[in-house]
Structures are given as structure tokens and as C-alpha cells.
């Protein structure tokens, strides 16, 4: 049922794109006749025309770039740059103008506050910039973002081992059960018994950025091929009446509070 809806939405959004194009053509043709009809989005910059042109990328190559970029701009900007730096070469605009380095602030779960992991945030930024925001009618950017959040929470991370790792010791992998930097990094540090400033923890986070970039590109490539199907079924706000994550008991123990719910 859901799948059919998504296909339909996809169809609608493609049709909207086509209609938009023909309005533009008609407007351009009529413009010279009297200037009465103005094309709807004639002056929209390339950055606001979705989807952005996408050429399939090699996940391993993308992961390798993300790994190395982590040591320059940290998790969030590393994931964004891993994808956009390649598309800047193969496609050009709007990637060439996009200031991905500005997203360094995603480090440490945003400025060290341990909220969403920057790798997951970066992946959401990439998917939503390429595919476009949900309000345009294309839902796959949101869906890929949600899939990354769920994958990130449920997967033994890191999954990717760099070709030329900066440290050779085998790093433990952990399941965070959460997209929060604080919990993800904390659980890993506990398993590895390594402090935040250790080179092992840093390399772990660089590899998590690489792993996330790898998975993101797998999903984007599937979307490009028309084979993408959303896998995340997380809808906390709807089901639980509060925004959040699925691991309520992690923080609340057995006493998960019940938010006020609308009367049936």
C-alpha cells in the first residue's frame, strides 16, 4: 500500500516537473507576444531546482574521501564533501557553489553538544539537497534521510575499513541504538576503553563518517536507478505522541512517560 503511494507521489512529482518545463517554454514563447505570461520559476537559481543533477558514485571511493575529509572538517562536512566534491567534478553546478565546509559545526553532535551525529545529519543534508524538500512533492530525500538514521542506529559501526587507515589497530564496532552522537560515541568509548581525545576514537568517528557516506551513496544510486524503496518505518511523533527515538527505555528505564494524547 505504502509502496504504491510512493510510486504515485514520484509520478506526480515528475509530472509537475514536466508541467513546470512546458509552462516555462510557453511563457518564453508568449513573452515576446505581449509579456502577459511570466514563467513560474524563470528566475529560480539552480540550487532551488530539484532534483539536482546526480551521477551515480562509487560507494567505496566516496567512503575513502569522507574518511580523509574527517581529519580536515569532521563528520558532517566530511559526508557532504565526499559526495559533493565528486559531483562538482562530474556535474558542476550547483555543487560547485555549495559551501559544504560551513557544516563543520556539525562536529561532536553539533558544536560538541552530542545531539544528532554529524554523519547522519550530513547524509540528510545531501539527500534533501539532491532530491529536494518534501514540500516539493518528492519524498525520497526525506525517506533516504530516515533510512540513514535507522541504519545508523541499528548497525555495528563502523562498517567501512579505509584502504590506508591512519591507525592499524583493529577497532571495536558497536551498535548505538540511537542517532545521537553522545550515545554513539559513548557506547563505543566504553567498549574500546578509549578516551574522547584518543587517536582510536577519532579514527572510529572518521570511519563512521566513511561508513555513512558509503551507505548514503548506495541509497542515492538506487534512487537514481528508480529502484529505491524506503525501509525506515519509524514514526515516533505519530505513534508515541512525542518527537524522539525508538529507544525510550534507554533513557527512561521501565517508566516511559506517556505524553498527553489527543482525545479519540
CB nearer to ligand HEC: give 85 or 247: 247
CB of 142 to ligand HEC, least distance (A): 19
CB of 262 to ligand HEC, least distance (A): 14
CB nearer to ligand HEC: give 76 or 109: 109
**Whole-angstrom distance, CA of residue 69 vs CA of residue 233:** 31
CB nearer to ligand HEC: give 45 or 244: 244
**Whole-angstrom distance, CA of residue 162 vs CA of residue 156:** 16
**Whole-angstrom distance, CA of residue 6 vs CA of residue 145:** 15
CB of 96 to ligand HEC, least distance (A): 39
CB nearer to ligand HEC: give 43 or 235: 235
All residues at 6 or more sequence positions from 39 whose CB lies less than 8 Å from its CB, including other chains: 23, 24, 27, 28, 31
Q: Can you tell me which of 35, 226, 257, 262 binds ligand HEC, judged by CB under 6 A?
A: 257
Residue list 237-256, contact with ligand HEC (CB under 6 A) = 240, 242, 244-245, 247-248, 250-252, 256
CB of 139 to ligand HEC, least distance (A): 23
Residue list 99-158, contact with ligand HEC (CB under 6 A) = none
Among 120, 111, 101, 129, smallest CA distance to 205 is for: 120
Q: Can you tell me which of 259, 261, 263, 264 binds ligand HEC, judged by CB under 6 A?
A: 259
How many residues bind to ligand HEC according to rule CB under 6 A?
13
CB nearer to ligand HEC: give 225 or 233: 233
CB of 185 to ligand HEC, least distance (A): 13
**Whole-angstrom distance, CA of residue 83 vs CA of residue 251:** 34
Cβ-count burial 37-71 (b if 16+ within 10 Å, e if not) = eebeeeeeeeeeebbbebeebebeebbbbbbbbbe
Residue 169, Cβ density class (10 Å: 0-12 exposed, 13-18 middle, ≥19 buried): exposed
Distances (CA, A) of 199 to 156, 168, 203: 20, 11, 6
CB of 116 to ligand HEC, least distance (A): 11
Residue list 207-236, contact with ligand HEC (CB under 6 A) = 236
Residue list 42-81, contact with ligand HEC (CB under 6 A) = none
The cell for 36 is 502577459
CB nearer to ligand HEC: give 11 or 241: 241
Residue 141 and residue 127 in contact, taking contact as beta carbons nearer than 8 Å: yes
**Whole-angstrom distance, CA of residue 96 vs CA of residue 84:** 8
Site residues for ligand HEC per CB under 6 A:
236, 240, 242, 244-245, 247-248, 250-252, 256-257, 259
Amino acid at each position: 500500500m505504502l509502496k504504491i503511494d510512493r510510486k504515485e507521489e514520484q509520478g506526480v512529482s515528475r509530472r509537475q516537473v514536466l508541467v513546470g518545463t512546458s509552462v516555462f517554454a510557453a511563457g518564453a514563447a508568449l513573452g515576446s507576444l505581449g509579456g502577459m505570461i511570466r514563467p513560474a520559476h524563470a528566475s529560480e537559481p539552480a540550487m532551488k531546482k530539484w532534483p539536482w543533477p546526480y551521477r551515480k558514485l562509487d560507494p567505496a571511493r566516496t567512503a575513502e574521501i569522507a574518511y580523509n575529509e574527517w581529519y580536515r572538517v569532521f563528520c558532517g562536512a566530511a559526508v557532504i564533501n565526499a559526495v559533493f566534491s565528486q559531483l562538482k567534478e562530474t556535474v558542476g553546478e550547483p555543487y560547485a557553489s555549495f559551501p559544504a565546509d560551513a557544516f563543520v559545526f556539525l562536529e561532536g553532535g553539533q558544536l560538541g553538544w552530542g545531539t544528532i551525529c554529524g554523519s547522519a545529519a550530513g547524509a540528510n543534508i545531501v539527500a534533501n539537497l539532491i532530491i529536494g524538500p518534501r514540500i516539493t512533492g518528492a519524498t525520497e530525500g526525506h525517506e533516504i534521510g530516515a533510512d540513514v538514521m535507522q541504519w545508523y542506529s541499528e548497525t555495528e559501526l563502523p562498517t567501512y575499513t579505509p584502504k590506508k587507515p591512519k591507525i592499524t589497530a583493529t577497532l571495536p564496532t558497536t551498535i548505538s541504538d540511537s542517532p545521537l552522537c553522545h550515545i554513539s560515541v559513548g557506547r563505543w568509548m566504553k567498549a574500546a576503553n578509549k578516551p574522547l581525545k584518543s587517536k582510536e576514537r577519532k579514527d572510529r568517528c572518521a570511519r563512521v563518517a566513511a561508513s555513512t557516506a558509503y551507505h548514503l551513496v548506495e541509497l542515492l544510486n538506487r534512487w537514481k536507478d528508480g529502484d529505491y524503496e524506503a525501509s525506515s518505518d519509524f514514526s515516533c511523533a505519530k505513534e508515541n505522541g512525542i518527537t524522539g527515538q525508538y529507544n525510550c527505555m534507554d533513557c527512561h528505564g521501565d517508566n516511559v512517560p506517556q505524553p498527553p494524547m489527543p482525545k479519540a
